[in-house]
A and B are shown apart, each in its own frame.
Chain A
Amino acid sequence: MGFYLAFGTVLLLLAITAPLALLFGFGGAIAARSHVLPLSWFGKGYIAIVRGVPDIAFFLFFVIALDQGIEWLRHKVKCPDWDQPIRQGSDFLVCDIAKMPLGTSPQWIHEIYGFTLAVVTFAIVFGAFAANVLHGAMTAVPRAQIETAEAYGMTRRQAFWRITVPQMWTYALPGLSNLWMVLIKATPLLFLLGVEDIVYWARELGGSKTAKFTEYPHGDWRMWYFLALLVFYLAFTKVSEVVLARISARLSHGQATIGGEAQRKAA
């Protein structure tokens, strides 16, 4: 049962992470374009750092770093008169009421918390990639379009929201769909973040090493479970390809691009 639920976990992660990463990306891209210098540095730095560091290390790093960061903040707020150092040798010690989640809370809170950390980690990493794509797309909108908007007396802000943002999607879509494919293929890494996802269950259910579990009276079936996962991901990729091709056709409708021009001629 857990195995089937885990497919839901993966889909849920994708459903939450994709918009969140897009939001992070949009924020990052706007920050990078900003005329306020520190904000622009922040945006560019965010894109550059996350994209420059090896992938999986980031996932392993971020979960612990976020967890410790949150606990440290809560520790500072809730127990200001704690005098012992937080790092004692190889332990990370905060006062009891600053623990995240609380030691007394039920199991499902722990699971939700772990899942949330995973979502945030994914969103931060993929947000940087999305920021890069969106930043490129914003600059790809033809200059003449903005100039026309200015000629109509629109302010910078108006021109951005009314002209650039609606038009940039067609330029951003190839990059974003690529990112979506990468995101799908990154989901098995959830397993490394300690979430009980499909990889976890495939190992658990397929394995025969624990003889006491007599409910699984079969040999080592992990190979078949992973074959099933392989097929699942292949099918998912294929479906995504088809859907994205449709969205792409929809978006290039009426655009001054080769794709839009071809549609106009065909009609």
Chain B
Amino acid sequence: MSCIETIGAYAFRSLGYGERLLPRSDFTLCEHFTLIGSGMIWNIYFGTLAVLSGFFFANLLAVAKNSPSALWRKPAEWFIFVFRGSPLFIQFFFAYFLFLELKGISPILDAFSSAWLGALVVLFLNTSAYSAEIFYGALRSIPKGDIEAADAYGLSGWHRFRRIMWPTMMRLAWPSYTNEAIFLFHATTLVFFSGFPAWRQKGDALYYANYFADKTFNPFIPYPILAFYFILLTLLIIGLFGLVNKRLNRHIPQERRTKMRLRPNLIR
């Protein structure tokens, strides 16, 4: 099979299109690249949706944690502690078996025990907790003068938050939030290793890399390819978040702008 044919057969294998059987012997470099790349679709799917949806919930949580009323603050604090204090790996396992239990109750809940929804929910909750902590930290470090100025202009409540506090909070949090996003994309590789079944061998990039490593017993080819894809993805995220960072900082004099520093965390 030529490389073009291989790409045709396996480019969307992770979604279930194309050749059904995975290659079994005589693996070519082209097959490695195509299948692992095909698996990246899932990583990007999980990462993108979790970041986008988690962003809104994280804002809500950060504001709730900053609230003077214990009725709001306590639940937010607990939520953040539970999701930041326990390993994501265990969260995946727990959620999967929880969803399995729920499966019997109502047919609406069936979808939760498959990876595309169940794992997404876990990732969404997890990234919300981590981002909320970042946003909360930023909210606490908004300069006092900004708030005083807003009060002096007669802004209050929602307007003060939306016009003054929120943009500053975003600006302060953005470099750390970028790291969180990168880190979330890395964490998506855990999905198919934690209970959630890869139905009909439709897995993510690490699933296929692991498949090749198991079959060839040679880790030196699939894992570097996986690393290559992830470094590309990381650069892409840094680029996109860098654009937003530029816009958030556009009113700041050039030399005082906060620099973006790449500092991905390891495991959550």
A187 adjacent to B220 (CB under 8 Å):
no
Q: How far is the CA of A54 from the CA of B266 in the complex (A)?
A: 8
User: Which B residue's beta carbon lies closest to that of A199?
Assistant: B93
A53 adjacent to B227 (CB under 8 Å):
yes
Q: Min CB distance, B141 to chain A, in Å?
A: 15
B101 adjacent to A57 (CB under 8 Å):
no
In the complex, whether A182 has a CB less than 8 A from a CB of chain B is yes
Q: Min CB distance, B127 to chain A, in Å?
A: 15
In the complex, whether A214 has a CB less than 8 A from a CB of chain B is no
State how many residues of chain B have any CB contact under 8 Å with chain A.
Answer: 40
Residues A199 and B90 in contact in the complex (CB < 8 Å), given A52-B231, A90-B216: yes
Q: How far is the CA of A199 from the CA of B213 in the complex (A)?
A: 23
Residues A185 and B88 in contact in the complex (CB < 8 Å), given A54-B186, A55-B266, A223-B101: yes
> Using an 8 Å CB-CB cutoff, how does the interface string of A229-240 with B read, 1 for contact, 0 for none?
110011001100
Q: Min CB distance, B264 to chain A, in Å?
A: 7
Q: How far is the CA of A61 from the CA of B90 in the complex (A)?
A: 21
A57 adjacent to B231 (CB under 8 Å):
no
A65 adjacent to B93 (CB under 8 Å):
no
Partner of A56, one of B81, B94, B97, B189: B189
Q: Min CB distance, A7 to chain B, in Å?
A: 13
> Using an 8 Å CB-CB cutoff, how does the interface string of A182-193 with B read, 1 for contact, 0 for none?
101111110110
B89 adjacent to A226 (CB under 8 Å):
no
Q: Min CB distance, A8 to chain B, in Å?
A: 18
B217 adjacent to A186 (CB under 8 Å):
no
Q: How far is the CA of A182 from the CA of B85 in the complex (A)?
A: 9
**Inter-chain contact total with CB atoms closer than 8 Å:** 117
Residues A187 and B87 in contact in the complex (CB < 8 Å), given A52-B231, A53-B227, A56-B206: yes
In the complex, whether A99 has a CB less than 8 A from a CB of chain B is no
Q: Min CB distance, B86 to chain A, in Å?
A: 4
User: Which A residue's beta carbon lies closest to that of B86?
Assistant: A233
User: Which B residue's beta carbon lies closest to that of A125?
Assistant: B266
A64 adjacent to B219 (CB under 8 Å):
yes
Residues of A within 8 A of B97 (CB): 206, 220, 222-223, 226
Partner of B219, one of A55, A56, A60, A227: A60
Residues of A within 8 A of B98 (CB): 223
In the complex, whether A202 has a CB less than 8 A from a CB of chain B is yes
Residues of B within 8 A of A55 (CB): 186, 189, 266-267
Q: How far is the CA of A56 from the CA of B88 in the complex (A)?
A: 12
Residues of B within 8 A of A125 (CB): 266
B265 adjacent to A182 (CB under 8 Å):
yes
In the complex, whether A51 has a CB less than 8 A from a CB of chain B is yes
Q: How far is the CA of A97 from the CA of B25 in the complex (A)?
A: 29
A54 adjacent to B213 (CB under 8 Å):
no
Q: Min CB distance, A109 to chain B, in Å?
A: 21
Partner of B93, one of A51, A189, A202: A202
In the complex, whether A81 has a CB less than 8 A from a CB of chain B is no
Partner of A61, one of B219, B264, B265: B219
Residues A60 and B101 in contact in the complex (CB < 8 Å), given A87-B218, A90-B217: no
A223 adjacent to B86 (CB under 8 Å):
no
The listed residue with most B CB atoms (<10 A of its CB), out of A90, A125, A182, is A90
In the complex, whether B100 has a CB less than 8 A from a CB of chain A is yes
Residues of B within 8 A of A184 (CB): 87
Quick one: which of B80-125 are within 8 Å of A by CB?
A: 81-82, 85-91, 93-94, 97-98, 100-101
Residues A90 and B215 in contact in the complex (CB < 8 Å), given A230-B91, A234-B81: yes
B89 adjacent to A64 (CB under 8 Å):
no
User: Which B residue's beta carbon lies closest to that of A56?
Assistant: B189
Partner of B267, one of A56, A223, A230: A56
User: Which A residue's beta carbon lies closest to that of B27?
Assistant: A90
A selection of 14 A-B contacts at a CB cut-off of 8 Å is A53-B231, A56-B193, A90-B25, A90-B216, A182-B267, A185-B86, A187-B87, A188-B87, A191-B89, A199-B93, A203-B93, A226-B97, A234-B85, A237-B85
**What 3 A-B pairs are tightest by C-beta distance, nearest first?**
A223-B97, A226-B94, A185-B87
| Interface set of B (CB-CB < 8 Å, partner A) | 25, 81-82, 85-91, 93-94, 97-98, 100-101, 186, 189-190, 193, 206, 209-210, 213, 215-220, 223, 226-227, 230-231, 264-268
Given contacts A227-B94, A230-B90, A237-B86, 18 further A-B contacts (CB under 8 A): A53-B227, A57-B209, A65-B220, A129-B266, A184-B87, A185-B86, A185-B88, A188-B87, A191-B89, A206-B97, A220-B100, A222-B97, A223-B101, A229-B93, A230-B82, A234-B82, A234-B85, A234-B86
